[in-house]
Amino acid sequence: MLAIELDLSVDFEKKVLSGSVTHTIEGKGKIILDTKDLKISGVGASIDGQAYKPTAYKLGATDKILGSPLEITLPEGTKFIKVAYDTSPSSVALQWLSPKQTAGKISPYLYSQGEPIYTRSWIPLQDSPSIRITYKARIRTQPNFFAVMSATNDQRTAAPTGDYSFTMSQAVPPYLIALAVGEIQFRTIGGRTGVYTEKAMLDASAREFSDLDAMVSAAERLFGTYRWERYDVLVAPPGFPIGGMENPRLTFATPTIITGDKSLVSLIAHELAHSWSGNLVTNATWSDFWLNEGFTVYVERRIQEELFGKQRSEMEFAIEIAELKAEMATLPEKDQLLYVDLKGRDPEEGVTLVPYIKGALMLRAIEEEIGREKFDAFIRAYFDHFAFQSITTATFEAYLKAQVPELKLDVKEWIYKPGMPASTPKINSLLLNAVDEELGNWKKNKPVNTRDWLAQQWLHFLRGLPADLNASQMAKLDADYQFTKSKNSEILDVWLMLAIRHKYAPAQAALETFLGSVGRQKFIKPLYQELAKTADGKVRAKALFSKNKENYHPIAASLIETLLAK
Protein backbone atom coordinates (compact mmCIF):
# COMPACT_ATOMS: atom_id res chain seq x y z
CA MET A 1 0.00 0.00 0.00
CA LEU A 2 1.18 3.50 -0.79
CA ALA A 3 1.86 5.88 2.07
CA ILE A 4 3.05 9.42 2.57
CA GLU A 5 4.43 11.29 5.54
CA LEU A 6 4.15 15.06 5.72
CA ASP A 7 6.26 17.40 7.80
CA LEU A 8 5.07 20.96 7.27
CA SER A 9 5.44 24.32 8.97
CA VAL A 10 2.66 26.87 8.63
CA ASP A 11 3.78 30.43 7.91
CA PHE A 12 0.81 32.80 8.18
CA GLU A 13 3.00 35.83 7.37
CA LYS A 14 4.22 34.51 4.02
CA LYS A 15 1.12 32.36 3.42
CA VAL A 16 3.17 29.26 2.69
CA LEU A 17 3.51 25.74 3.96
CA SER A 18 7.09 24.57 3.87
CA GLY A 19 8.73 21.26 4.64
CA SER A 20 8.68 17.88 3.02
CA VAL A 21 6.67 14.88 1.97
CA THR A 22 8.10 11.37 2.11
CA HIS A 23 6.61 8.75 -0.20
CA THR A 24 6.86 5.04 0.39
CA ILE A 25 6.98 3.72 -3.16
CA GLU A 26 6.75 0.65 -5.28
CA GLY A 27 8.31 0.51 -8.74
CA LYS A 28 11.63 1.50 -10.21
CA GLY A 29 13.35 3.67 -12.80
CA LYS A 30 11.40 6.85 -12.33
CA ILE A 31 8.25 8.20 -10.72
CA ILE A 32 6.09 11.13 -11.78
CA LEU A 33 4.22 13.18 -9.19
CA ASP A 34 1.61 15.88 -9.80
CA THR A 35 2.45 19.40 -8.60
CA LYS A 36 0.89 22.81 -9.08
CA ASP A 37 2.55 26.11 -8.10
CA LEU A 38 5.03 24.35 -5.80
CA LYS A 39 8.62 25.41 -5.28
CA ILE A 40 10.66 22.20 -5.15
CA SER A 41 13.97 22.65 -3.35
CA GLY A 42 15.32 19.11 -3.45
CA VAL A 43 14.54 15.42 -3.71
CA GLY A 44 16.25 12.64 -1.79
CA ALA A 45 16.05 8.88 -2.35
CA SER A 46 16.50 6.22 0.33
CA ILE A 47 16.58 2.47 0.62
CA ASP A 48 15.96 2.23 4.37
CA GLY A 49 14.01 5.42 5.11
CA GLN A 50 16.90 6.70 7.25
CA ALA A 51 19.69 7.90 4.96
CA TYR A 52 18.64 10.03 1.96
CA LYS A 53 20.86 10.83 -1.01
CA PRO A 54 20.00 13.64 -3.43
CA THR A 55 18.54 12.33 -6.67
CA ALA A 56 17.81 13.91 -10.05
CA TYR A 57 14.41 15.47 -10.71
CA LYS A 58 12.83 17.80 -13.23
CA LEU A 59 9.63 19.80 -13.37
CA GLY A 60 7.84 19.49 -16.72
CA ALA A 61 5.95 22.15 -18.65
CA THR A 62 3.03 23.76 -16.83
CA ASP A 63 -0.50 22.89 -17.89
CA LYS A 64 -3.12 25.42 -16.83
CA ILE A 65 -5.42 22.75 -15.40
CA LEU A 66 -3.04 19.98 -14.38
CA GLY A 67 0.03 21.91 -13.19
CA SER A 68 3.57 20.57 -13.71
CA PRO A 69 4.65 16.93 -13.56
CA LEU A 70 7.63 16.29 -11.27
CA GLU A 71 9.75 13.50 -12.70
CA ILE A 72 12.09 11.87 -10.18
CA THR A 73 14.87 9.42 -10.99
CA LEU A 74 14.85 6.37 -8.71
CA PRO A 75 18.28 4.87 -8.04
CA GLU A 76 18.38 1.07 -7.78
CA GLY A 77 16.61 -0.21 -4.65
CA THR A 78 14.85 3.05 -3.77
CA LYS A 79 11.96 2.48 -1.33
CA PHE A 80 11.45 6.04 -0.12
CA ILE A 81 11.68 9.49 -1.67
CA LYS A 82 11.58 12.75 0.21
CA VAL A 83 10.58 15.95 -1.62
CA ALA A 84 11.41 19.27 0.05
CA TYR A 85 9.10 22.07 -1.04
CA ASP A 86 7.21 25.29 -0.35
CA THR A 87 3.65 26.01 -1.41
CA SER A 88 2.83 29.26 -3.18
CA PRO A 89 0.69 31.97 -1.50
CA SER A 90 -1.72 31.50 -4.40
CA SER A 91 -2.02 27.71 -3.96
CA VAL A 92 -5.49 26.88 -5.21
CA ALA A 93 -6.09 24.33 -2.42
CA LEU A 94 -5.26 26.66 0.44
CA GLN A 95 -7.23 29.59 1.71
CA TRP A 96 -5.29 31.86 4.02
CA LEU A 97 -7.71 34.01 5.96
CA SER A 98 -6.77 37.27 7.61
CA PRO A 99 -8.22 37.77 11.11
CA LYS A 100 -11.05 39.91 9.77
CA GLN A 101 -12.16 37.11 7.47
CA THR A 102 -12.77 34.79 10.43
CA ALA A 103 -15.70 34.66 12.84
CA GLY A 104 -13.51 35.63 15.79
CA LYS A 105 -11.71 38.50 13.95
CA ILE A 106 -8.55 38.06 16.07
CA SER A 107 -6.35 35.39 14.50
CA PRO A 108 -5.59 34.20 10.97
CA TYR A 109 -6.87 30.86 9.73
CA LEU A 110 -5.93 28.33 7.09
CA TYR A 111 -7.83 25.47 5.52
CA SER A 112 -7.37 23.22 2.52
CA GLN A 113 -9.85 22.01 -0.10
CA GLY A 114 -8.54 19.15 -2.21
CA GLU A 115 -11.42 18.03 -4.44
CA PRO A 116 -11.13 17.46 -7.32
CA ILE A 117 -7.45 17.97 -8.23
CA TYR A 118 -6.14 20.65 -5.88
CA THR A 119 -4.20 18.56 -3.37
CA ARG A 120 -1.24 18.74 -5.80
CA SER A 121 -1.01 22.46 -5.01
CA TRP A 122 -0.05 21.71 -1.40
CA ILE A 123 1.44 18.19 -1.59
CA PRO A 124 3.49 16.72 -4.48
CA LEU A 125 1.80 13.35 -5.05
CA GLN A 126 -0.05 11.27 -7.62
CA ASP A 127 -3.28 13.21 -7.47
CA SER A 128 -5.85 10.85 -8.94
CA PRO A 129 -8.96 9.49 -7.20
CA SER A 130 -7.99 6.03 -8.49
CA ILE A 131 -5.06 6.02 -6.06
CA ARG A 132 -5.46 5.33 -2.35
CA ILE A 133 -2.86 6.20 0.25
CA THR A 134 -2.48 6.24 4.01
CA TYR A 135 -0.81 9.24 5.59
CA LYS A 136 0.98 10.56 8.61
CA ALA A 137 1.58 14.22 9.22
CA ARG A 138 3.43 16.52 11.56
CA ILE A 139 2.15 20.09 11.42
CA ARG A 140 4.04 22.90 13.14
CA THR A 141 2.31 26.20 13.71
CA GLN A 142 2.09 29.08 16.18
CA PRO A 143 1.96 27.86 19.79
CA ASN A 144 -1.53 29.22 20.43
CA PHE A 145 -3.08 27.55 17.36
CA PHE A 146 -4.62 24.16 16.79
CA ALA A 147 -4.29 22.11 13.64
CA VAL A 148 -6.84 19.46 12.64
CA MET A 149 -6.79 16.97 9.78
CA SER A 150 -8.95 14.33 8.08
CA ALA A 151 -7.24 11.78 10.34
CA THR A 152 -7.08 10.87 14.02
CA ASN A 153 -7.43 14.13 15.94
CA ASP A 154 -6.86 14.15 19.70
CA GLN A 155 -9.92 16.41 20.15
CA ARG A 156 -7.74 19.35 20.98
CA THR A 157 -8.99 19.76 24.54
CA ALA A 158 -5.59 20.29 26.19
CA ALA A 159 -3.77 23.61 25.76
CA PRO A 160 -2.39 24.17 22.28
CA THR A 161 1.31 23.45 21.70
CA GLY A 162 1.64 24.42 18.06
CA ASP A 163 3.10 20.99 17.18
CA TYR A 164 0.71 18.25 16.14
CA SER A 165 0.93 14.72 14.78
CA PHE A 166 -1.71 12.90 12.79
CA THR A 167 -2.21 9.39 11.46
CA MET A 168 -4.66 8.26 8.81
CA SER A 169 -4.30 4.50 8.64
CA GLN A 170 -7.21 3.96 6.26
CA ALA A 171 -6.27 4.40 2.62
CA VAL A 172 -8.00 7.42 1.05
CA PRO A 173 -7.79 9.12 -2.33
CA PRO A 174 -5.53 12.21 -2.27
CA TYR A 175 -8.43 14.68 -2.57
CA LEU A 176 -9.53 13.65 0.93
CA ILE A 177 -6.34 14.76 2.67
CA ALA A 178 -7.35 17.93 4.51
CA LEU A 179 -5.93 20.40 6.99
CA ALA A 180 -7.25 23.37 8.96
CA VAL A 181 -5.25 25.60 11.31
CA GLY A 182 -6.45 28.42 13.53
CA GLU A 183 -7.91 29.20 16.92
CA ILE A 184 -10.05 26.10 16.70
CA GLN A 185 -11.87 24.66 19.69
CA PHE A 186 -13.68 21.36 20.21
CA ARG A 187 -17.01 20.43 21.78
CA THR A 188 -18.22 16.84 22.28
CA ILE A 189 -21.71 16.11 20.95
CA GLY A 190 -22.17 12.35 21.37
CA GLY A 191 -20.09 9.24 21.94
CA ARG A 192 -18.31 9.42 18.61
CA THR A 193 -19.25 12.87 17.33
CA GLY A 194 -18.24 16.44 18.03
CA VAL A 195 -17.69 19.83 16.50
CA TYR A 196 -14.53 21.86 15.88
CA THR A 197 -14.85 25.56 15.23
CA GLU A 198 -13.80 29.01 16.34
CA LYS A 199 -14.94 29.97 19.84
CA ALA A 200 -17.43 32.49 18.46
CA MET A 201 -19.39 29.71 16.71
CA LEU A 202 -18.95 26.83 19.18
CA ASP A 203 -22.22 27.05 21.15
CA ALA A 204 -24.43 27.63 18.14
CA SER A 205 -22.73 24.85 16.15
CA ALA A 206 -23.03 22.31 18.96
CA ARG A 207 -26.74 23.13 19.32
CA GLU A 208 -27.39 22.89 15.59
CA PHE A 209 -25.70 19.49 15.33
CA SER A 210 -27.07 17.93 18.51
CA ASP A 211 -28.57 15.08 16.41
CA LEU A 212 -25.20 14.06 14.98
CA ASP A 213 -24.92 10.75 16.85
CA ALA A 214 -28.49 9.84 15.93
CA MET A 215 -27.62 10.61 12.32
CA VAL A 216 -24.61 8.28 12.32
CA SER A 217 -26.70 5.52 13.94
CA ALA A 218 -29.51 6.00 11.41
CA ALA A 219 -27.03 5.72 8.56
CA GLU A 220 -25.55 2.57 10.07
CA ARG A 221 -28.96 0.91 10.38
CA LEU A 222 -29.41 1.47 6.66
CA PHE A 223 -26.00 0.95 5.14
CA GLY A 224 -23.84 -1.00 7.58
CA THR A 225 -21.12 -0.15 10.07
CA TYR A 226 -19.59 3.33 10.06
CA ARG A 227 -15.97 2.50 9.35
CA TRP A 228 -14.15 5.72 10.23
CA GLU A 229 -14.38 5.56 14.06
CA ARG A 230 -15.24 9.21 14.73
CA TYR A 231 -17.51 11.58 12.86
CA ASP A 232 -16.71 15.20 13.67
CA VAL A 233 -17.65 18.40 11.88
CA LEU A 234 -15.39 21.41 11.40
CA VAL A 235 -17.51 24.53 10.97
CA ALA A 236 -15.30 26.67 8.76
CA PRO A 237 -15.09 30.48 8.76
CA PRO A 238 -17.74 32.43 6.80
CA GLY A 239 -15.64 32.64 3.60
CA PHE A 240 -15.81 28.85 3.05
CA PRO A 241 -16.70 28.56 -0.67
CA ILE A 242 -18.78 25.39 -0.71
CA GLY A 243 -21.52 23.83 1.39
CA GLY A 244 -19.49 21.01 2.81
CA MET A 245 -16.55 18.75 2.08
CA GLU A 246 -16.68 15.15 3.18
CA ASN A 247 -13.13 14.90 4.52
CA PRO A 248 -13.03 11.53 6.30
CA ARG A 249 -13.60 11.64 10.08
CA LEU A 250 -13.88 15.42 9.84
CA THR A 251 -16.45 16.98 7.52
CA PHE A 252 -15.71 20.63 6.71
CA ALA A 253 -18.93 22.67 6.57
CA THR A 254 -20.09 26.20 5.82
CA PRO A 255 -21.41 28.19 8.80
CA THR A 256 -24.38 29.23 6.61
CA ILE A 257 -26.19 26.05 7.73
CA ILE A 258 -26.24 27.25 11.34
CA THR A 259 -29.77 28.67 11.46
CA GLY A 260 -30.83 27.91 15.02
CA ASP A 261 -33.65 25.64 13.86
CA LYS A 262 -31.77 22.68 12.29
CA SER A 263 -33.59 23.32 9.00
CA LEU A 264 -30.44 22.97 6.89
CA VAL A 265 -28.81 19.95 8.56
CA SER A 266 -29.50 17.81 5.49
CA LEU A 267 -26.14 19.14 4.31
CA ILE A 268 -24.53 17.25 7.19
CA ALA A 269 -26.57 14.14 6.29
CA HIS A 270 -25.06 14.49 2.81
CA GLU A 271 -21.48 14.75 4.02
CA LEU A 272 -22.04 11.87 6.45
CA ALA A 273 -23.47 9.77 3.60
CA HIS A 274 -20.12 10.23 1.82
CA SER A 275 -18.59 8.07 4.57
CA TRP A 276 -20.02 5.21 2.48
CA SER A 277 -20.36 6.61 -1.04
CA GLY A 278 -17.27 8.52 -2.06
CA ASN A 279 -14.92 7.94 0.84
CA LEU A 280 -15.39 4.17 1.17
CA VAL A 281 -16.28 3.46 -2.49
CA THR A 282 -14.67 6.16 -4.61
CA ASN A 283 -15.04 7.28 -8.24
CA ALA A 284 -11.93 6.10 -10.08
CA THR A 285 -11.98 9.13 -12.41
CA TRP A 286 -13.84 12.45 -12.29
CA SER A 287 -15.99 11.25 -15.21
CA ASP A 288 -17.40 8.71 -12.72
CA PHE A 289 -18.23 11.51 -10.25
CA TRP A 290 -21.90 10.45 -10.18
CA LEU A 291 -20.81 7.29 -8.32
CA ASN A 292 -19.77 9.59 -5.47
CA GLU A 293 -22.55 12.13 -5.62
CA GLY A 294 -25.58 10.26 -7.00
CA PHE A 295 -25.20 7.55 -4.36
CA THR A 296 -24.62 10.20 -1.72
CA VAL A 297 -27.77 12.15 -2.52
CA TYR A 298 -29.73 8.89 -2.50
CA VAL A 299 -28.24 7.88 0.87
CA GLU A 300 -28.77 11.42 2.22
CA ARG A 301 -32.48 11.22 1.36
CA ARG A 302 -32.74 7.88 3.15
CA ILE A 303 -30.98 9.16 6.30
CA GLN A 304 -33.31 12.13 6.24
CA GLU A 305 -36.37 9.93 5.86
CA GLU A 306 -35.19 7.87 8.84
CA LEU A 307 -34.69 10.93 11.05
CA PHE A 308 -37.37 13.39 9.94
CA GLY A 309 -39.89 11.26 8.04
CA LYS A 310 -40.78 10.61 4.42
CA GLN A 311 -42.64 13.90 3.88
CA ARG A 312 -39.56 15.98 4.49
CA SER A 313 -37.20 13.82 2.45
CA GLU A 314 -39.62 13.71 -0.49
CA MET A 315 -40.02 17.46 -0.31
CA GLU A 316 -36.28 18.08 -0.47
CA PHE A 317 -35.96 15.57 -3.33
CA ALA A 318 -38.78 17.28 -5.27
CA ILE A 319 -37.07 20.67 -4.86
CA GLU A 320 -33.75 19.27 -6.08
CA ILE A 321 -35.39 17.64 -9.08
CA ALA A 322 -36.95 20.96 -10.08
CA GLU A 323 -33.50 22.56 -9.75
CA LEU A 324 -31.96 19.77 -11.85
CA LYS A 325 -34.49 20.26 -14.63
CA ALA A 326 -33.89 24.03 -14.64
CA GLU A 327 -30.11 23.53 -14.83
CA MET A 328 -30.33 20.77 -17.43
CA ALA A 329 -32.16 23.13 -19.77
CA THR A 330 -29.02 25.30 -19.81
CA LEU A 331 -26.48 22.47 -20.27
CA PRO A 332 -25.09 21.14 -23.56
CA GLU A 333 -26.16 17.54 -24.23
CA LYS A 334 -22.71 16.14 -23.45
CA ASP A 335 -23.02 17.42 -19.88
CA GLN A 336 -26.45 15.88 -19.34
CA LEU A 337 -24.99 12.36 -19.09
CA LEU A 338 -24.12 10.68 -15.81
CA TYR A 339 -20.82 9.58 -17.30
CA VAL A 340 -19.31 12.87 -18.48
CA ASP A 341 -16.50 13.13 -21.01
CA LEU A 342 -13.88 15.37 -19.37
CA LYS A 343 -11.03 14.83 -21.82
CA GLY A 344 -8.92 18.00 -21.87
CA ARG A 345 -11.37 19.72 -19.54
CA ASP A 346 -11.16 20.94 -15.98
CA PRO A 347 -12.95 18.35 -13.80
CA GLU A 348 -14.73 21.30 -12.12
CA GLU A 349 -16.79 21.51 -15.34
CA GLY A 350 -18.41 18.18 -14.48
CA VAL A 351 -19.77 19.59 -11.23
CA THR A 352 -23.42 20.21 -12.09
CA LEU A 353 -26.61 18.84 -10.52
CA VAL A 354 -26.58 16.00 -13.09
CA PRO A 355 -24.22 13.62 -11.21
CA TYR A 356 -25.98 14.48 -7.94
CA ILE A 357 -29.69 14.48 -8.67
CA LYS A 358 -29.98 12.51 -11.92
CA GLY A 359 -27.67 9.95 -10.30
CA ALA A 360 -29.88 9.70 -7.21
CA LEU A 361 -32.99 9.47 -9.38
CA MET A 362 -31.58 6.50 -11.28
CA LEU A 363 -30.97 4.69 -7.98
CA ARG A 364 -34.51 5.59 -6.91
CA ALA A 365 -35.79 4.14 -10.20
CA ILE A 366 -33.97 0.88 -9.46
CA GLU A 367 -35.39 0.88 -5.91
CA GLU A 368 -38.92 1.38 -7.23
CA GLU A 369 -38.55 -1.46 -9.74
CA ILE A 370 -37.05 -4.13 -7.48
CA GLY A 371 -38.49 -2.97 -4.15
CA ARG A 372 -36.81 -1.33 -1.21
CA GLU A 373 -35.86 -4.50 0.65
CA LYS A 374 -33.96 -5.92 -2.29
CA PHE A 375 -32.41 -2.59 -3.18
CA ASP A 376 -31.19 -2.05 0.38
CA ALA A 377 -29.53 -5.46 0.33
CA PHE A 378 -27.91 -4.54 -2.98
CA ILE A 379 -26.56 -1.21 -1.83
CA ARG A 380 -25.19 -2.66 1.43
CA ALA A 381 -23.46 -5.44 -0.50
CA TYR A 382 -22.10 -2.85 -2.96
CA PHE A 383 -20.51 -0.79 -0.16
CA ASP A 384 -19.03 -3.95 1.40
CA HIS A 385 -17.79 -5.41 -1.85
CA PHE A 386 -15.97 -2.27 -3.00
CA ALA A 387 -14.98 -0.88 0.42
CA PHE A 388 -11.73 1.13 0.26
CA GLN A 389 -11.60 0.79 -3.52
CA SER A 390 -11.92 3.26 -6.39
CA ILE A 391 -14.20 2.03 -9.17
CA THR A 392 -15.44 3.06 -12.60
CA THR A 393 -18.97 3.34 -13.97
CA ALA A 394 -18.36 0.18 -16.03
CA THR A 395 -17.50 -1.73 -12.84
CA PHE A 396 -20.74 -0.52 -11.26
CA GLU A 397 -22.74 -1.59 -14.32
CA ALA A 398 -21.21 -5.07 -14.30
CA TYR A 399 -21.81 -5.48 -10.56
CA LEU A 400 -25.44 -4.34 -10.89
CA LYS A 401 -26.03 -6.78 -13.73
CA ALA A 402 -24.53 -9.65 -11.74
CA GLN A 403 -26.46 -8.86 -8.57
CA VAL A 404 -29.80 -7.87 -10.11
CA PRO A 405 -29.96 -9.82 -13.41
CA GLU A 406 -33.75 -9.36 -13.63
CA LEU A 407 -33.52 -5.54 -13.74
CA LYS A 408 -35.49 -4.11 -16.67
CA LEU A 409 -34.47 -0.47 -16.24
CA ASP A 410 -32.44 0.88 -19.16
CA VAL A 411 -29.35 1.75 -17.12
CA LYS A 412 -27.36 2.63 -20.24
CA GLU A 413 -29.93 5.27 -21.17
CA TRP A 414 -29.55 6.86 -17.73
CA ILE A 415 -25.76 6.83 -17.85
CA TYR A 416 -24.92 7.56 -21.48
CA LYS A 417 -27.88 9.51 -22.93
CA PRO A 418 -28.72 13.19 -22.38
CA GLY A 419 -31.88 14.49 -20.74
CA MET A 420 -34.29 12.74 -18.38
CA PRO A 421 -35.28 9.17 -19.29
CA ALA A 422 -38.95 8.24 -19.58
CA SER A 423 -38.41 5.97 -16.56
CA THR A 424 -37.72 8.98 -14.28
CA PRO A 425 -39.58 8.38 -10.99
CA LYS A 426 -42.33 10.83 -10.13
CA ILE A 427 -41.77 12.43 -6.75
CA ASN A 428 -44.93 13.90 -5.30
CA SER A 429 -44.48 16.15 -2.29
CA LEU A 430 -47.60 16.84 -0.25
CA LEU A 431 -45.80 19.60 1.63
CA LEU A 432 -45.01 21.43 -1.60
CA ASN A 433 -48.50 20.83 -2.97
CA ALA A 434 -49.80 22.64 0.13
CA VAL A 435 -47.53 25.58 -0.67
CA ASP A 436 -48.75 25.63 -4.28
CA GLU A 437 -52.29 25.91 -2.99
CA GLU A 438 -51.35 28.86 -0.77
CA LEU A 439 -49.48 30.49 -3.65
CA GLY A 440 -52.76 30.35 -5.57
CA ASN A 441 -54.46 32.10 -2.68
CA TRP A 442 -51.73 34.71 -2.49
CA LYS A 443 -52.10 35.49 -6.20
CA LYS A 444 -55.85 35.95 -5.70
CA ASN A 445 -55.28 38.19 -2.69
CA LYS A 446 -56.90 35.63 -0.42
CA PRO A 447 -55.65 34.79 3.10
CA VAL A 448 -52.54 32.59 3.08
CA ASN A 449 -51.96 29.88 5.69
CA THR A 450 -48.22 29.49 6.38
CA ARG A 451 -48.54 27.79 9.77
CA ASP A 452 -45.69 25.40 10.65
CA TRP A 453 -44.02 25.83 7.29
CA LEU A 454 -40.54 24.37 7.04
CA ALA A 455 -37.70 26.39 5.52
CA GLN A 456 -37.96 24.43 2.26
CA GLN A 457 -41.65 25.33 1.99
CA TRP A 458 -40.78 29.00 2.35
CA LEU A 459 -38.21 28.58 -0.41
CA HIS A 460 -40.81 26.98 -2.65
CA PHE A 461 -43.20 29.84 -1.88
CA LEU A 462 -40.60 32.49 -2.77
CA ARG A 463 -39.64 30.71 -5.99
CA GLY A 464 -43.28 30.39 -6.99
CA LEU A 465 -44.10 34.08 -6.73
CA PRO A 466 -44.98 35.82 -10.02
CA ALA A 467 -42.11 37.19 -12.12
CA ASP A 468 -43.54 40.72 -12.21
CA LEU A 469 -43.80 41.62 -8.53
CA ASN A 470 -44.15 45.34 -7.94
CA ALA A 471 -42.73 47.49 -5.14
CA SER A 472 -45.83 47.40 -2.98
CA GLN A 473 -46.14 43.62 -3.31
CA MET A 474 -42.50 43.23 -2.26
CA ALA A 475 -43.08 45.55 0.70
CA LYS A 476 -46.21 43.64 1.73
CA LEU A 477 -44.39 40.28 1.55
CA ASP A 478 -41.59 41.68 3.68
CA ALA A 479 -44.00 43.18 6.21
CA ASP A 480 -45.97 39.92 6.45
CA TYR A 481 -43.05 37.48 6.58
CA GLN A 482 -39.91 39.45 7.57
CA PHE A 483 -37.79 38.01 4.76
CA THR A 484 -35.13 40.74 4.88
CA LYS A 485 -34.48 39.79 8.51
CA SER A 486 -34.40 36.03 7.89
CA LYS A 487 -31.70 34.15 9.78
CA ASN A 488 -31.94 31.29 7.30
CA SER A 489 -29.25 31.79 4.65
CA GLU A 490 -31.18 29.87 1.95
CA ILE A 491 -34.35 31.90 2.42
CA LEU A 492 -32.44 35.18 2.65
CA ASP A 493 -30.53 34.31 -0.53
CA VAL A 494 -33.69 33.72 -2.59
CA TRP A 495 -35.30 36.84 -1.15
CA LEU A 496 -32.24 38.94 -2.01
CA MET A 497 -32.41 37.66 -5.60
CA LEU A 498 -35.98 38.98 -5.75
CA ALA A 499 -34.87 42.24 -4.13
CA ILE A 500 -32.28 42.77 -6.87
CA ARG A 501 -34.68 41.79 -9.64
CA HIS A 502 -37.50 44.03 -8.42
CA LYS A 503 -35.27 46.84 -7.14
CA TYR A 504 -36.65 46.54 -3.62
CA ALA A 505 -34.75 49.29 -1.79
CA PRO A 506 -35.30 48.25 1.88
CA ALA A 507 -33.38 44.96 1.33
CA GLN A 508 -30.32 46.49 -0.34
CA ALA A 509 -28.41 47.00 2.91
CA ALA A 510 -29.04 43.35 3.83
CA LEU A 511 -27.77 42.34 0.38
CA GLU A 512 -24.52 44.23 0.94
CA THR A 513 -24.08 42.72 4.42
CA PHE A 514 -24.73 39.22 3.04
CA LEU A 515 -22.21 39.60 0.19
CA GLY A 516 -19.69 40.94 2.70
CA SER A 517 -20.09 38.18 5.25
CA VAL A 518 -20.67 34.98 3.28
CA GLY A 519 -18.35 33.29 0.79
CA ARG A 520 -20.42 30.30 -0.22
CA GLN A 521 -20.35 30.17 -4.01
CA LYS A 522 -23.87 28.82 -4.29
CA PHE A 523 -25.16 32.09 -2.82
CA ILE A 524 -22.79 34.79 -3.95
CA LYS A 525 -22.30 33.83 -7.59
CA PRO A 526 -25.99 34.02 -8.59
CA LEU A 527 -26.39 37.27 -6.65
CA TYR A 528 -23.52 38.93 -8.51
CA GLN A 529 -24.87 37.46 -11.73
CA GLU A 530 -28.31 38.91 -11.08
CA LEU A 531 -26.84 42.33 -10.22
CA ALA A 532 -24.79 42.32 -13.42
CA LYS A 533 -27.90 42.00 -15.60
CA THR A 534 -28.39 45.77 -15.69
CA ALA A 535 -25.78 48.45 -16.45
CA ASP A 536 -26.20 50.18 -13.06
CA GLY A 537 -26.25 46.85 -11.30
CA LYS A 538 -23.00 45.82 -12.94
CA VAL A 539 -21.22 48.94 -11.73
CA ARG A 540 -22.51 48.23 -8.25
CA ALA A 541 -21.58 44.53 -8.49
CA LYS A 542 -18.01 45.45 -9.45
CA ALA A 543 -17.71 47.90 -6.56
CA LEU A 544 -19.10 45.36 -4.08
CA PHE A 545 -16.87 42.63 -5.45
CA SER A 546 -13.69 44.66 -5.15
CA LYS A 547 -14.64 45.49 -1.55
CA ASN A 548 -15.39 41.86 -0.64
CA LYS A 549 -13.15 39.76 -2.83
CA GLU A 550 -10.47 39.14 -0.23
CA ASN A 551 -13.14 37.47 1.90
CA TYR A 552 -13.81 34.95 -0.83
CA HIS A 553 -11.97 31.75 -1.64
CA PRO A 554 -9.62 32.24 -4.64
CA ILE A 555 -11.68 29.86 -6.79
CA ALA A 556 -14.96 31.62 -6.00
CA ALA A 557 -13.33 35.03 -6.49
CA SER A 558 -11.94 34.15 -9.91
CA LEU A 559 -15.31 32.74 -11.00
CA ILE A 560 -17.08 35.97 -10.09
CA GLU A 561 -14.31 38.10 -11.57
CA THR A 562 -14.76 36.27 -14.89
CA LEU A 563 -18.50 36.69 -14.90
CA LEU A 564 -18.29 40.43 -14.11
CA ALA A 565 -15.70 40.93 -16.87
CA LYS A 566 -18.09 39.66 -19.56
Q: Alpha-carbon distance 250 to 4, whole Å?
A: 19
Long-range CB contact pairs, 472-478, < 8 A, 24+? 474/498, 474/499, 474/502, 474/504, 475/504, 475/506, 478/504, 478/506, 478/507
Contact partners, residue 94, CB within 8 Å, separation at least 6:
15, 17, 87, 110, 111, 112, 121, 122
Angle, helices 372-385 vs 359-370, to 10°: value is 130
Nearer Cβ to Zn ion (211/293): 293
- Per-residue DSSP letter, 263: T
Q: Catalytic residue at 13? A: no
Nearer Cβ to Zn ion (296/429): 296
Nearer Cβ to Zn ion (45/281): 281
Q: How many CB atoms lie within 10 A of CB 444?
A: 8
CB of 321 to Zn ion, least distance (A): 17
Give the helix/strand (H/E) hosting 89. Answer: none
Q: Alpha-carbon distance 535 to 108, whole Å?
A: 37
Nearer Cβ to Zn ion (351/409): 351
**8 Å CB contact between 38 and 88:** yes
Nearer Cβ to Zn ion (351/377): 351
Q: Alpha-carbon distance 469 to 491, whole Å?
A: 17
CB of 6 to Zn ion, least distance (A): 25
Nearer Cβ to Zn ion (296/304): 296
DSSP secondary structure of 416-468: HSSS--TTPPP---HHHHHHHHHHHHHHTT-----TT--HHHHHHHHHTS-TT
Q: Catalytic residue at 356? A: yes
Nearer Cβ to Zn ion (129/182): 129
Contact partners, residue 385, CB within 8 Å, separation at least 6:
399
Burial of 445 per CB tally in 10 Å (0-12, 13-18, 19+): exposed
CB of 299 to Zn ion, least distance (A): 10
- Binding residues (CB under 5 A) for Zn ion: these are 293, 296
The active-site residue out of 5, 183, 271, 490 is 271
Q: Alpha-carbon distance 276 to 233, whole Å?
A: 16
The active-site residue out of 135, 356, 382, 552 is 356
CB of 285 to Zn ion, least distance (A): 17
CA atoms within 13 A on the CB side of 432: 20
Nearer Cβ to Zn ion (293/493): 293
Contact partners, residue 519, CB within 8 Å, separation at least 6:
238, 239, 240, 241, 551, 552, 553, 556
CB of 290 to Zn ion, least distance (A): 11
**8 Å CB contact between 193 and 246:** no
Catalytic residues: 271, 356
